[in-house]
């Protein structure tokens, strides 16, 4: 999955011959599951039609503050467009537009949108070789970089003038690869490895029966995705769960019992920077697993249970520099119990959810958490979807490991 998947990309097109290549650029973004809106300078419409771009992007294309042909004459709100975008990409970026951007000129919709945007902005310059090396162009580029914009370097080759040299817009595939790599390199968990346990465990009674619990794995899988989206390489050790995950940074390891989870977690732990144990591990397992299905009798049946190994406590004992996070699901004396677990299991943080909070716990799509760190500082969050809770947890961990 690309880092651009699900992202909102605002493509600004200015009047250079390379504008014809933006049809491919839009297609590439769409293929990566990004949402694309296009804003054009009026002159760029001589090089590629808005119809082509609106068809490919599946969104209306705007180039003026209102559409004269439209009988409703709707105002095209540059502020909304600018704030909508996760990333703005200006390709091709002409010398004229870059000069205006560098100087805060705002005489068309694209420039007004650029000034209104708060997201990262990428520029792919395109012009003739002498224009590209002109000191005024260099000055614009330097100024734009100093504003925090990122320049996708022009390449060398044959130019529309027939001259050969630097000034060709990077090819659409290279623009996409450049942006993906740039985003990845800036992600806060880039280069970090993360171990995560999720879901329930099943403890066999006989070949057809087991002791389990109602954990769905939703919380753990959401954490895996949130961490992977921030660049972490995630080892997701999951008990039996219907949850699905499709992310190139997530390796899923399926296990069944607490013992399987214990073995898998220990095999990855030495290699990771962060471990989050969100699984609802069975605390007890049948002492003996019957090799044949247990037959029904009229008398009562006793199953003797033995404690399972506590994976989290065991990792707490052997941990070196890993940031170790546990979960506590409590029904009473919540803070006290969670703090006790944090200390006993030698954790860096614990995520508490109380079953007394409506909407928190196993079977729901929402959760309400308090994160307690090793200095016993508490941070409570509102009731949110598990996807949002997962982002809060990962963001708190990022803050703590960078503190």
Q: Does 281 bind ligand CTP (CB under 6 A)?
A: yes
How many amino acids of this chain bind ligand CTP (CB under 6 A)? 15
Find the binder of ligand CTP among 176, 328, 389, 397 (CB under 6 A).
328
Q: Does 224 bind ligand CTP (CB under 6 A)?
A: no
Q: Where are the beta strands (DSSP E) in 150-271?
A: 150-151, 155-158, 164-168, 193-198, 203-206, 209-211, 233-238, 250-254
- H helical segments located in 76-197: 78-84, 95-103, 109-116, 129-133, 135-146, 172-186
Taking the least distance from each CB to ligand CTP, the nearer of 67 and 259 is 259
Euclidean distance between the first and the last CA atom of the chain, given in angstroms as a whole number: 30
Using alpha carbons, select from 261, 258, 373, 259 the residue that is nearest to residue 326: 373
Taking the least distance from each CB to ligand CTP, the nearer of 155 and 337 is 337
345 contacts: CB under 8 Å, gap ≥ 6: 310, 312, 313, 316, 324, 326
- What minimum distance in Å lies between the beta carbon of 311 and ligand CTP? 3
Q: What's the CA gap between 169 and 295, in Å, rounded? A: 75
Q: Is 74 helix (H, G, I), strand (E, B) or coil?
A: coil
Q: Does 277 bind ligand CTP (CB under 6 A)?
A: yes
Find the binder of ligand CTP among 15, 232, 327, 393 (CB under 6 A).
327
Interface segment toward ligand CTP; rule CB under 6 A; list 49-57, 277-285, 366-374, 380-388 = 277-285
Find the binder of ligand CTP among 275, 326, 353, 368 (CB under 6 A).
326
DSSP letter (8 states) at residue 346: T
Please classify residue 260 by burial: count the beta carbons closer than 10 Å to its beta carbon, then call 0-12 exposed, 13-18 middle and 19+ buried: middle
Using alpha carbons, select from 39, 36, 40, 31 the residue that is nearest to residue 7: 36
Find the binder of ligand CTP among 35, 310, 348, 396 (CB under 6 A).
310
Binding residues for ligand CTP restricted to 23-82, rule: CB under 6 A? none
Question: Two tokens at 304?
Answer: 């003797």
Question: Two tokens at 79?
Answer: 């502020």
Binding residues for ligand CTP restricted to 169-208, rule: CB under 6 A? 197
Interface segment toward ligand CTP; rule CB under 6 A; list 74-82, 144-152, 274-282, 387-395 = 274-282
Q: Does 258 bind ligand CTP (CB under 6 A)?
A: yes
Residue 337 annotated to the active site: no
Q: Does 341 bind ligand CTP (CB under 6 A)?
A: yes
User: Which one from 59, 77, 96, 213 is the annotated catalytic residue?
Assistant: 213
Q: Does 311 bind ligand CTP (CB under 6 A)?
A: yes
Q: Which residues in this chain contact ligand CTP in the complex, by CB under 6 A? A: 197, 258, 277, 279, 281, 283, 308, 310-312, 326-329, 341
Enumerate the active-site residues. Answer: 213
């Amino acid at each position: 999955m690309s880092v651009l998947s699900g992202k909102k990309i605002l493509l600004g097109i200015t009047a250079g011959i390379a504008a014809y290549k933006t049809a491919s650029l839009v297609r590439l973004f769409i293929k990566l599951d990004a949402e694309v809106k296009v804003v054009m300078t009026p002159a760029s419409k001589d090089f590629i039609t808005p119809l082509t771009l609106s068809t490919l992007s599946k969104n209306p294309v705007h180039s003026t503050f209102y559409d004269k042909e439209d009988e409703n004459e709707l105002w095209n709100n540059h502020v909304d467009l600018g704030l909508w975008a996760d990333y703005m990409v200006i390709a091709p970026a002409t010398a004229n537009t870059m000069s205006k951007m560098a100087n805060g000129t705002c005489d068309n919709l694209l420039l007004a949108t650029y000034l209104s945007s708060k997201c990262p902005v990428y520029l792919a310059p395109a012009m003739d070789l002498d224009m590209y090396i002109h000191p005024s162009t260099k000055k614009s580029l330097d100024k734009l970089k100093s504003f925090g914009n990122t320049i996708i370097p022009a390449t060398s080759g044959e130019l529309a003038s027939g001259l050969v040299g630097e000034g060709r817009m990077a090819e659409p595939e290279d623009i996409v690869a450049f942006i993906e790599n740039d985003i990845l390199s800036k992600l806060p968990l880039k280069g970090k490895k993360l171990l995560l346990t999720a879901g329930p465990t099943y403890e066999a009674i006989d070949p057809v029966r087991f002791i389990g619990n109602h954990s769905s794995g939703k919380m753990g899988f959401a954490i895996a995705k949130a961490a992977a989206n921030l660049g972490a390489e995630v080892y997701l050790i999951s008990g039996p769960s219907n949850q699905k995950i499709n992310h190139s940074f997530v390796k899923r390891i399926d296990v069944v019992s607490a013992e399987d989870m214990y073995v898998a977690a220990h095999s990855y732990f030495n290699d990771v920077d962060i471990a989050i144990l969100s699984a609802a591990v069975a605390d007890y397992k049948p002492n003996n697993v019957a090799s044949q299905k247990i037959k029904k009798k009229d008398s009562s049946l006793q199953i003797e249970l033995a404690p399972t190994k506590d994976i989290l406590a065991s990792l707490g004992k052997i941990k070196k520099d890993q940031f170790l996070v546990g979960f506590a699901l409590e029904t009473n004396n919540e803070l006290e119990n969670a703090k006790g677990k944090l200390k006993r299991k030698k954790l860096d943080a614990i995520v508490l959810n109380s079953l007394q909070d409506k909407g928190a716990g196993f079977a729901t799509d929402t959760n309400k958490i308090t994160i307690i760190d090793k200095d016993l500082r508490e941070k409570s969050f509102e009731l949110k979807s598990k996807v949002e809770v997962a982002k809060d947890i990962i963001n708190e961990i990022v803050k703590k490991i960078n503190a």
